[in-house]
Amino acid sequence: MAWTDGACVVDTRSGRVGRVAGRIGPRLRLRPLTRGRPWHCPADAVRAASEWEQRNADVLDENWRFWRPA
């Protein structure tokens, strides 16, 4: 799927919710909805975020920060 800038997506590798901020070759540049650093993700490893995931992105992001490997 061709993701447009501003689309809200979930990185299926990590479960993080972010907004598409651009494209670098076959990878997407994603920005978190709440706070944090942008990251890159392969375009085929994202899916559209549900309305619930968009509303609860701050809680999901904090959980990701707590449980991610150091």
pLDDT tens column, 23-57: 999 999 999 887 788 999 999 999 999 988 888 87
pTM of the prediction?
0.78
Half-sphere exposure for 7 (CA within 13 Å, toward CB): 17
Domain coordinates in residue numbering, the chain: 7-66
What is the band of 64 on the pLDDT scale with cuts at 50, 70, 90? Answer: low
Token output for 52: 């619930």
Q: What is the distance between the alpha carbons of residues 26 and 30, in angstroms, rounded to a whole number?
A: 13
